[in-house]
Chain A
Amino acid sequence: MNLDAKIPSGPLEKKWDKHRLDMKLVNPANKRKFEVIVVGTGLAGAGAAASMAELGYGVKAFCYQDSPRRAHSIAAQGGINAAKNYQNDGDSVYRLFLDTLKGGDFRAREANVYRLAQVSVNIIDQCVAQGVPFAREYSGMLANRSFGGAQVSRTFYARGQTGQQLLLGAYQALERQIGLGKVKMFPRTEMLDLVLVDGHAKGIVVRDLVTGEISSHAADAVILATGGYSNVFYLSTSAKGCNVTAIWRAYKRGAAMANPCYTQIHPTCIPVSGDHQSKLTLMSESLRNDGRVWVPKAKGDKRPAHDIPETERDYFLERKYPSYGNLAPRDISSRAAKEACDDGRGVGPGGLGVYLDFADSVKRLGETGIREKYDNLFAMYETITGENAYKQPMRIYPAVHYTMGGLWVDYNLQSNIPGLFVLGEANFSDHGANRLGASALMQGLADGYFIAPYTLGNYFATNKIPRPTVGHPEFKRVGDEVNARTKKFLSIKGKRSTTSFHRELGKLMWNNCGMARTKASLETNLRDIPALREEFWKNLNVLGETNSLNQSLEQAGRVADFLEFGELLSRDALLREESCGGHFRSEYQTPDGEAQRDDDHFAHVSAWEYQGENQTPVMHKEPLVYEEIKMSQRSYK
């Protein structure tokens, strides 16, 4: 397997500029002749589809929701980072690069991260031009806030709805191109397989979710921007429909899956309230700007929060990480909360919660001051829990939130399959073993607006392969496989619902491969997940038909893929015998309980190659070579 990252030579700051000069261009008249398929219309997909169409390429875009505007990016709350240094607080491209690389626990590629920091400044300009209503100061200038893992204020935001506003900007740009006839949009259409012709990605097989019709689409290149796989844990902050299907099917066609074990647990989510729970709700990290995290000092202290005097509270993040305090990175904050709860000092039902307390900020800024910044989040909290967080502290607990792993891509965001590009959360590229807050939106838009449009052009200009038609035998072969698989779900006629399998898988993943992982717990998964999968294929109950709108059938396909993917994730976690970022192996920790990396043996990307049904996949390594900086032990103390 060829894992050449194709990092341009030359000094770090010049690599991207140099690469842009070196890449071949497609002349304007010829762009029209190329067609590209974009699966996913989140920030990454909508950004890429709109930008590619503006350049003159023909684009077909797909999403499973009824409208491209509903992609999961819509739910991002807190903000987007950019090295604008508008606050004059010492920020720079280099500092954003350093923070992101360090935040990722030195498991990302230097050159990719540097480029991300570089283009971050263009993103803000682009979004402002589109009319994204970012928060403003009274001077009319853009406002900033701080996020975890940074000591500067570089996060731009639009109330608590930053993702929504950025996505609407990208969506409107996309709709404009749809109106102009440059993009053909296929909503409620799910990609179920990738088609390769002569080793190049040349099309996809999809199912129309309304009519059930399975059809093929051919193109000169395929972009996957299908988001993350948090829902392998069943409960996560992702939307219900988020899935691993598109990238998993690509993996099964030969694309390498990189670092699947890097998953992020977000420290501030509303705790689980019962078995009926269908998803978890995030309380934005921005709240940690003004909220203080604490638990009672004494075990089993059941007094209401306001009856616990200051001296009997443990503000554990401020105590353990004085220089970052409540803004310590997510992996560290989550683990600290888990430790406090494991120690019997958790609050709320089942002791699975810690307080996020705004009393001091309300004193400082007044209730109106807090309301202005976070009202929608407080309202959401009250809607869900029935509690008023202006009067009593919020209860929060960590939950699965983001997945750093994904399909392997080179510097051009091209996978090891030529012609297959992967953008946004679906790739593994920039966040290493842990993503800093407000950096996913940045990455999605960087990939979609500013990187893919260049690198795809280079692919077209240097690979003159004629576009196949859907009459090509490969399309027929893959289409038949998809059809057979779809019918199979309905033919099992077992007793258990898809949801019950998904829940059980989620429990295995959370208990054995969640915030803390051990050799034994991961081996349990490698034994129990295949067994669960076997039962799934024998005892699944899906009713209805293939040729109609059938949500159970859609869900069955996604859960079937999660049941395979969960095993790979656990296997990857087992092989990585170190702790780094969100991957915490209990066996590998420093004396004070922090993640213990092992750079001598694990400074590499783990890229998995599929070997066939029920065969153990093979892991390949891409070494992480740092030219600019030295890997060091992260410290937020």
Chain B
Amino acid sequence: MNLTLKVWRQKNRSAAGEFATYQARDIIPDMSFLEMLDVVNEEILAQGHEPFAFDSDCREGICGACSLVINGIPHGGNKGVTACQLHMRHFHDGQTITIEPWRASAFPVDRDLITDRTAFDRIIASGGFISAHTGGAPDGNALPVSKPDADKAMDAAACIGCGACVAACKNASAMLFVAAKVSHLGLLPQGQAERYDRVVKMVETMDNEGFGNCTVTGACEAVCPKEISLEFIGRLNRDYLVGSLKK
């Protein structure tokens, strides 16, 4: 099939950006979306122009590097998949596709479709961990964890830190990302000692990094490639309340 792409191009953080139009020719349905972009980029290069830059690494939906807004929807709107796992069989001949970077002031654009998401790392650095020095840990089975708790913690821990939740939110809030980590660690017995301190610090950093407020519209849950549930935000709010009262 043949497609028309409108791709966001921006030289660097301070430059103004604009859409450029490219043709994607002879695309086959088994290609992944990123493989389609590779094909187009090879053609752009062959014509003597600089290819557009986009992030990707694992290309199997787990590293969280790929970060494209496709036709207005982060990761393209196929439930539970990242852009790298989106396949061309979901598009049709003659379609026009717009491709943009994440849009959020906490994620500045470094070039074309690439943004700087280090704000997420700083949120984790402020409290998204269990302080367990290497060495001296008790036997792994010394502390039983009920299967439902372990499973639920795993549901939350599945977050890949891609930032689609922020890109989808009209307030560019990072609540779902923070809630996932707070819930993952807060559901486990090992995470109890720092539970309330953790949530307060992480929320504070989130605010300082320029992410917006959560108004629970659920746009984040809808685009999350790992289908992280909105209910974790409820958990965060409860823990946050307790945490701020303790302060």
Interface string of B17-40 (1 = CB under 8 A from A): 000000000001011101110110
Answer yes or no: A36 CB below 8 A from chain B CBs.
Answer: no
A65 touches B65 (CB 8 A): yes
User: Complex formed: what's the CA distance from A54 to B136 in Å?
Assistant: 13
Q: Closest residue to B130 on the A side, CB-wise?
A: A131
Residues of A within 8 A of B46 (CB): 497, 541
Interface string of B100-113 (1 = CB under 8 A from A): 00000000001100
A240 touches B116 (CB 8 A): no
A133 touches B12 (CB 8 A): no
A136 touches B63 (CB 8 A): no
Residues of A within 8 A of B110 (CB): 210, 549
Residues of B within 8 A of A548 (CB): 11-12, 111
Answer yes or no: B154 CB below 8 A from chain A CBs.
Answer: yes
Residues of A within 8 A of B212 (CB): none
Number of interface residues of A (CB under 8 A): 80
| Residues B190-205 near A (CB distance < 8 A) | 190-191
Answer yes or no: A140 CB below 8 A from chain B CBs.
Answer: yes
B150 touches A240 (CB 8 A): no
Q: Closest residue to B64 on the A side, CB-wise?
A: A70
Query: Which of A50, A278, A499, A548 has its CB near the most chain B CB atoms (within 10 A)?
Result: A278
Pick from B87, B125, B141: contact of A141, CB under 8 Å = B141
Q: Which of A89-97, A121-129, A527-535 contacts B (4 or more CB under 8 A)?
A: A121-129
Answer yes or no: B229 CB below 8 A from chain A CBs.
Answer: no
B137 touches A125 (CB 8 A): yes
Tell me, rounded to whole Å, the shortest Cβ–Cβ distance linking B85 to chain A. Answer: 5
Task: Given A178-B125, A499-B38, A549-B110, verify A541-B45 contact (CB < 8 Å).
Answer: yes
Answer yes or no: A551 CB below 8 A from chain B CBs.
Answer: yes
Answer yes or no: B4 CB below 8 A from chain A CBs.
Answer: no
A175 touches B138 (CB 8 A): no
Residues of A within 8 A of B191 (CB): 131
| Residues B124-154 near A (CB distance < 8 A) | 124-135, 137-141, 143-147, 150-151, 153-154
B32 touches A168 (CB 8 A): no
Answer yes or no: B74 CB below 8 A from chain A CBs.
Answer: no
User: Complex formed: what's the CA distance from A539 to B154 in Å?
Assistant: 50
User: Complex formed: what's the CA distance from A185 to B139 in Å?
Assistant: 31
Pick from B12, B60, B138: contact of A549, CB under 8 Å = B12
Answer yes or no: A75 CB below 8 A from chain B CBs.
Answer: yes
Answer yes or no: A626 CB below 8 A from chain B CBs.
Answer: no
B87 touches A278 (CB 8 A): no
Answer yes or no: A176 CB below 8 A from chain B CBs.
Answer: yes
B157 touches A126 (CB 8 A): no
Tell me, rounded to whole Å, the shortest Cβ–Cβ distance linking A590 to chain B. Answer: 37
Residues of A within 8 A of B34 (CB): 278
Residues of B within 8 A of A136 (CB): 144-147, 150-151
Answer yes or no: A455 CB below 8 A from chain B CBs.
Answer: no
Residues of B within 8 A of A386 (CB): 87, 89
A54 touches B133 (CB 8 A): yes
Residues of B within 8 A of A130 (CB): 129-130, 132, 190
Q: Closest residue to B11 on the A side, CB-wise?
A: A548
A125 touches B138 (CB 8 A): yes
Answer yes or no: B68 CB below 8 A from chain A CBs.
Answer: no
Answer yes or no: A135 CB below 8 A from chain B CBs.
Answer: yes
Answer yes or no: A458 CB below 8 A from chain B CBs.
Answer: no
Number of interface residues of B (CB under 8 A): 78
A75 touches B145 (CB 8 A): no
Answer yes or no: B97 CB below 8 A from chain A CBs.
Answer: no
Residues of A within 8 A of B144 (CB): 136, 139-141
Residues of A within 8 A of B99 (CB): none
Pick from A70, A141, A172: contact of B63, CB under 8 Å = A70
B117 touches A129 (CB 8 A): no
A159 touches B87 (CB 8 A): no
Q: Closest residue to A64 on the B side, CB-wise?
A: B57
Task: Given A179-B126, A449-B134, verify A67-B120 contact (CB < 8 Å).
Answer: yes
B118 touches A67 (CB 8 A): yes
B150 touches A65 (CB 8 A): no
Task: Given A67-B118, A210-B110, verify A142-B12 contact (CB < 8 Å).
Answer: no
Q: Closest residue to B138 on the A side, CB-wise?
A: A125
Query: Which of B48, B61, B116, B124 has its CB near the most chain A CB atoms (within 10 A)?
Result: B124
User: Complex formed: what's the CA distance from A241 to B133 in Å?
Assistant: 31
B58 touches A74 (CB 8 A): yes
Residues of B within 8 A of A47 (CB): 134
Pick from B31, B45, B80, B146: contact of A497, CB under 8 Å = B45
Tell me, rounded to whole Å, the shortest Cβ–Cβ distance linking B107 to chain A. Answer: 10
Answer yes or no: A66 CB below 8 A from chain B CBs.
Answer: yes
Answer yes or no: B70 CB below 8 A from chain A CBs.
Answer: no
Tell me, rounded to whole Å, the shortest Cβ–Cβ distance linking A350 to chain B. Answer: 13
Tell me, rounded to whole Å, the shortest Cβ–Cβ distance linking A373 to chain B. Answer: 13
A173 touches B38 (CB 8 A): no
Answer yes or no: A274 CB below 8 A from chain B CBs.
Answer: yes
Interface string of B39-70 (1 = CB under 8 A from A): 10010011011110101111111111100000
Task: Given A75-B63, A175-B129, verify A126-B153 contact (CB < 8 Å).
Answer: no
Residues of B within 8 A of A70 (CB): 57-58, 63-65, 161
Answer yes or no: A254 CB below 8 A from chain B CBs.
Answer: no
Pick from A50, A67, A176: contact of B117, CB under 8 Å = A67
Residues of B within 8 A of A171 (CB): 124
Task: Given A133-B188, A173-B134, verify A140-B145 contact (CB < 8 Å).
Answer: yes
Task: Given A68-B121, A140-B147, verify A497-B42 contact (CB < 8 Å).
Answer: yes
A241 touches B57 (CB 8 A): yes
Tell me, rounded to whole Å, the shortest Cβ–Cβ distance linking A557 to chain B. Answer: 16
User: Complex formed: what's the CA distance from A177 to B89 in Å?
Assistant: 45
| Residues B171-190 near A (CB distance < 8 A) | 184-185, 188, 190
Pick from B57, B60, B111, B132: contact of A380, CB under 8 Å = B60
A273 touches B116 (CB 8 A): no
Answer yes or no: A632 CB below 8 A from chain B CBs.
Answer: no
Tell me, rounded to whole Å, the shortest Cβ–Cβ distance linking B73 to chain A. Answer: 17
Tell me, rounded to whole Å, the shortest Cβ–Cβ distance linking B183 to chain A. Answer: 11
Tell me, rounded to whole Å, the shortest Cβ–Cβ distance linking B49 to chain A. Answer: 7
Answer yes or no: A383 CB below 8 A from chain B CBs.
Answer: yes
Tell me, rounded to whole Å, the shortest Cβ–Cβ distance linking B4 to chain A. Answer: 19
B139 touches A125 (CB 8 A): yes
B118 touches A66 (CB 8 A): yes
Q: Closest residue to B36 on the A side, CB-wise?
A: A276
B85 touches A384 (CB 8 A): yes
Answer yes or no: B81 CB below 8 A from chain A CBs.
Answer: yes
Residues of B within 8 A of A175 (CB): 121, 124-125, 128-129
Answer yes or no: A198 CB below 8 A from chain B CBs.
Answer: no
Pick from A176, A239, A379: contact of B59, CB under 8 Å = A239
Interface string of A169-205 (1 = CB under 8 A from B): 0011101101100000101000000000000000000
Interface string of B209-239 (1 = CB under 8 A from A): 0000000000000000000000000000000
B161 touches A67 (CB 8 A): yes
Residues of A within 8 A of B168 (CB): none
Answer yes or no: A161 CB below 8 A from chain B CBs.
Answer: yes
Residues of B within 8 A of A500 (CB): 42
Task: Return 7 A-B CB contacts under 8 Å, by A number.
Answer: A47-B134, A75-B58, A131-B190, A134-B140, A140-B146, A172-B130, A241-B57
In the complex, besides A133-B150, A548-B12, 15 extra interface pairs with C-beta distance below 8 angstroms are A69-B161, A74-B160, A126-B134, A128-B190, A130-B129, A131-B129, A139-B144, A142-B140, A161-B154, A164-B158, A172-B128, A240-B58, A274-B28, A449-B135, A497-B42
The 5 closest A-B pairs by CB, nearest first: A140-B144, A179-B125, A172-B129, A129-B137, A129-B132
